[in-house]
Structure 1
């Protein structure tokens, strides 16, 4: 018998991954608490604005929650004020609601409000005119209600284990470090062994993949910095994040240099290159640079950020490298490799 499978949602309705369970719990707690507090303080109406505010304000980081709270509050206050002013000068008819919506949309455009605030202004104006046009004090209560929900959303996000996104940042920077080292080793191998055109093309493709890895690492570090902003736990993680950020700043130019070295080899390679007297010495320095680069690594539990960088054990280019006069067809390639290798050495040691 065939097993029946539950129907799956279309791809455009499905997120790439689930929101963390902790985020769901915090959102639920904030929404329930906002409802209860708003009912206690403003018992005249159902606290829909408070629940919506708390629901939207709980974000992956405290800084984002604070931003959403301000965004939501500004949108609600502007919408309520617009609805109140229009209600004073127009009768209670359906077209008044449409007028308030249109005015609110142009208000958000004129003041260049963020999408969250710009959308909230017409929604609030519409709800005030549709639900509270005949209720005294309705507009003021909805503003207070929103402020209660937004404040509780921020407070809950602060009190219940504020998330710290250091793991992805260290992981992606670590992957970039390892791949840069591997690219240097592949380049060293290509210099000392005959290469086919297909192998050189593959080497170039692998080097170009460093750019998206760098972009992913930069995005992860930005998320890590975002997660620590206004976070009460930031003092315990700031040093690790600063080291990861500084390491990425040193790796970023290396990506450009490694791609440039690979491009130079790809474009100027010929079979006689392996016979150059100094090419094996350059390959050896590339392998030592790869070794030193791996020693940098992101901060881990085994090596705190304040520990000196261990690259001083076997640093690259510590002794003069004698370059014999190369063949006229190879001098440009060898010169460019040596210059990029020198700059990689400076970036590894932090000069």
Structure 2
């Protein structure tokens, strides 16, 4: 609907201002410039306008210097492609320069005002697209970003619980490898959350609803930053357990104490996810439980076969505890 309105507005404005019977270039600009949010629309409008201006200038210079024969048109197109590549222009601008040069040299050869009108029409169409996209407020993409962050937090908590089970009960090699595979899936989830947050940030740029929604996005971004470290630590603990696992681990008193702290870490991480899911604490669906994390453990001398794993788990647990408590 926004694209249709932008095309209609660009068409009417071009006819009224330029007295053009068929302002197709304004319509083309409006079709290509309208994007999901205002920030992207502004960028595309600038890119397309600059591309048109660059192509017209190249065509004008080539026409003055060499005339307008067919081989000159071909060389101008090739030159524009190489110029766009050398300047590392965005794809929309890179394709627009040779297209504009080709059309000016071919059609504009018999119409001197063609180059001028093409630039003006394009700018009118781009301006119409920008105006319509600002008038009809684009949707903000907070919900997808929020959902990916919360899912990531809960999966990190589930991974901690899987480590607890592996330390408390004897596991087969297949179970240990399966746990490692699931832990590695945290990385794609982290990357997905990062992309969703960037999309949400972009959707708020130049958006009239920016002020209202900025606080909610800040909560998700702050929580995501804490999860970045937690993902690294959780994968590290899983890898250490996979590399140094043996069936007597559950007999080690320190290991059992570590499992208690890991369970509490998973518990408190879910509390953080609940608070991030409902930033207004007065509207939480259930009463908030108190955090369960305790003070750091005092480690007894472990079995020589287990001290590397226990030391690694303790260091990762310390950092997990700091991230969850915000220390």
Q: Normalized against structure 2, the TM-score is what?
A: 0.94
- The residue that corresponds to 2:55 in the other structure is 79
- The residue that corresponds to 1:214 in the other structure is 190
- The residue that corresponds to 1:68 in the other structure is 44
Q: Work out whether residues 62 and 229 of structure 1, in 8 Å CA contact, stay in contact via their aligned partners in 2.
A: yes
- The residue that corresponds to 2:74 in the other structure is 98
Q: Does 1:143 align with 2:127?
A: no
Bigger mean CA offset, 238-247 vs 69-78:
238-247
Q: Which of 89, 95, 103 matches 1:113?
A: 89
Q: Does 1:190 align with 2:166?
A: yes
- The number of equivalent residue pairs is 325
- The residue that corresponds to 1:338 in the other structure is 314
Provide the C-alpha distance between the structure 2 equivalents of 1:305 and 1:148, rounded to a whole number of angstroms. Answer: 49
Q: Work out whether residues 237 and 312 of structure 2, in 8 Å CA contact, stay in contact via their aligned partners in 1.
A: yes
Q: Equivalences for 1:182-331 in 2 at 5 Å?
A: 182-297=158-273, 302-304=278-280, 313-316=290-293, 318-331=294-307
Provide the C-alpha distance between the structure 1 equivalents of 2:325 and 2:22, rounded to a whole number of angstroms. Answer: 63
Provide the C-alpha distance between the structure 2 equivalents of 1:236 and 1:292, rounded to a whole number of angstroms. Answer: 29
Provide the C-alpha distance between the structure 1 equivalents of 2:288 and 2:94, rounded to a whole number of angstroms. Answer: 52
Aligned to 2:304, the other structure's residue is in SS state: coil
In structure 1, list runs of 5 or more residues that go unmatched. 1-24
Shift of the 294–76 alpha-carbon distance from structure 1 to 2, 3 Å rule, reads: same
- The residue that corresponds to 1:167 in the other structure is 143
Aligned to 2:248, the other structure's residue is in SS state: helix
In structure 2, list runs of 5 or more residues that go unmatched. none
Question: CA shift at 1:151, angstroms?
Answer: 0.9
- CA offsets, 1:144-178, max 9 Å, x none? 11111111111111111222111111111111101
Larger helix percent? 2
Q: Equivalences for 1:35-46 in 2 at 5 Å?
A: 35-46=11-22
Provide the C-alpha distance between the structure 1 equivalents of 2:319 and 2:281, rounded to a whole number of angstroms. Answer: 24
- The residue that corresponds to 2:102 in the other structure is 126
Question: CA shift at 1:275, angstroms?
Answer: 0.6
Q: Work out whether residues 247 and 298 of structure 1, in 8 Å CA contact, stay in contact via their aligned partners in 2.
A: no
Q: Equivalences for 1:25-64 in 2 at 5 Å?
A: 25-64=1-40
- CA offsets, 1:214-251, max 9 Å, x none? 11111111111111122221111111111111111111
- CA offsets, 1:184-227, max 9 Å, x none? 01111111111111111111111111111111111111111111
Provide the C-alpha distance between the structure 2 equivalents of 1:109 and 1:43, rounded to a whole number of angstroms. Answer: 36
Provide the C-alpha distance between the structure 2 equivalents of 1:219 and 1:301, rounded to a whole number of angstroms. Answer: 19
Provide the C-alpha distance between the structure 2 equivalents of 1:37 and 1:213, rounded to a whole number of angstroms. Answer: 47
Aligned to 1:297, the other structure's residue is in SS state: helix
Question: CA shift at 1:44, angstroms?
Answer: 3.2
- The residue that corresponds to 1:8 in the other structure is none
Q: Work out whether residues 58 and 157 of structure 1, in 8 Å CA contact, stay in contact via their aligned partners in 2.
A: yes
Q: Work out whether residues 240 and 305 of structure 1, in 8 Å CA contact, stay in contact via their aligned partners in 2.
A: no
Q: Work out whether residues 170 and 299 of structure 1, in 8 Å CA contact, stay in contact via their aligned partners in 2.
A: no
